[in-house]
Amino acid sequence: MPVPVGWPALKNARLWLAVALTTAVPVVTACNNSGGDTATGKELFTQRCGACHVLNDAGTKGVTGPNLDYAFLQSIRDGLGRSTIEGVVLKQIHLPEGGQMPADLVKGKDADSVAAYVASAVGKPPAAAGGGSASTGGGTGKANAQNVVDNPADPTGQLAYKYKSLTAKPGKVTLESTNDSSVPHDISLQGGPQGKQVSGGQTSRIVVNLKPGSYTFYCSVPGHEQAGMKGTLSVK
């Protein structure tokens, strides 16, 4: 669930939860059986909220808003039902505290789905909740004989590439990133060029002449680089 940049009163995740709970009662009854689709909710959360929030199951690493796993952890231990959490989340989507975040950033069934997903996922480690990707962010992607480096985006929609580091030879270098998820991504180099944003099995590609040195590659979709979708290309 999105939280605006520069909302200092909500840097304390428990304060955010306390504020939300005081206003959640009218919504809780209505959304206990919202019928929200958690798969759709995960996709929407990753797209719209992951740049701000940490949520283990979604693999998001945002730093602006509260860590949602932590925000609800003690309440879950104290017996707060997940249907109640769903109501809290939905309330914050419709009537965000602080007046800086746009209300209804996701609407209708989409809001129900995000609330249902967050409620089902908070406080669970990635393996238990079905999220995460063991292959994401490990190892080094190496150029092939044609000096083409392939660095796929995470297929589950997490804001991550398969590799955090890439290597290539000097000269004409091609960077490619195939994205099997429905969350749009690209592959770009700081200082240019930028690849085309793609999804659904398409490939983002850039071709650039590079001298020996270190370069930063990243996804230029707003919020994705900040959430950790970047790495280092070593040309040597």
Strands across the sheet containing 140-142:
140-142, 165-168, 230-235, 213-218, 188-189
Number of Cβ within a 10 Å radius of residue 22 = 11
Mean pLDDT, residues 146-150 taken together: 97
Helix (H, G, I), strand (E, B) or coil at 221: coil
Q: What mean pLDDT value characterizes the chain?
A: 79
Name the more confident of 83 and 124: 83
**Among candidates 63, 31, 35, which has minimal Cα distance to 49?**
63
Q: In a 10 Å sphere around its CB, with 0-12 CB exposed, 13-18 middle and 19+ buried, how is residue 77 labelled?
A: exposed
Q: For the chain, what percent of residues have pLDDT higher than 90?
A: 36
Residue 3 has pLDDT above 70, yes or no: no
Mean pLDDT, residues 88-109 taken together: 78
Query: For 8-129, which CATH class?
Result: mainly alpha
Listed by start position, the domains of the chain span 8-129, 140-235
Residue 10 has pLDDT above 50, yes or no: no
- pLDDT tier at 105, thresholds 50, 70, 90: confident
Q: Is the peptide bond before 125 cis (omega within 30 degrees of 0)?
A: no
| Residue 182, token pair as written in the block | 């429905």
Kindly write down the DSSP assignment for every residue of 149-215, as one continuous string: EE-PBPTTS-S-BS-SEEEE-SEEEEEEEEE-SSS-B--EETTS-BPPPB-TTEEEEEEEEE-SEEE
Strongest mean pLDDT among 28-32, 86-90, 104-108: 86-90
- Tens digit of pLDDT for each residue in 71-91? 888 778 888 888 888 998 898
Instruction: Determine which helix (DSSP H) or strand (DSSP E) holds 16, and give its type and residue range.
Output: helix 13-22
The rounded Cα 36 to chain-centroid distance in angstroms is: 19
* Strand 230-235 to 165-168 pairing: parallel
Cα–Cα distance, 85 to 236 (Å, whole number): 51
pLDDT for the residue numbered 34:
61
Tell me whether domains 8-129 and 140-235 share a fold.
no
Mean pLDDT, residues 32-41 taken together: 75
Name the more confident of 217 and 69: 217
pLDDT for the residue numbered 19:
46
Domain made up of 140-235: CATH architecture: Sandwich (2.60)
Q: What sign does the CA torsion over 154, 160, 166, 171 have?
A: positive
Least confident of 28-37, 38-47, 138-147, 186-195: 28-37
Residue 49 has pLDDT above 90, yes or no: no
Mean pLDDT, residues 115-142 taken together: 68
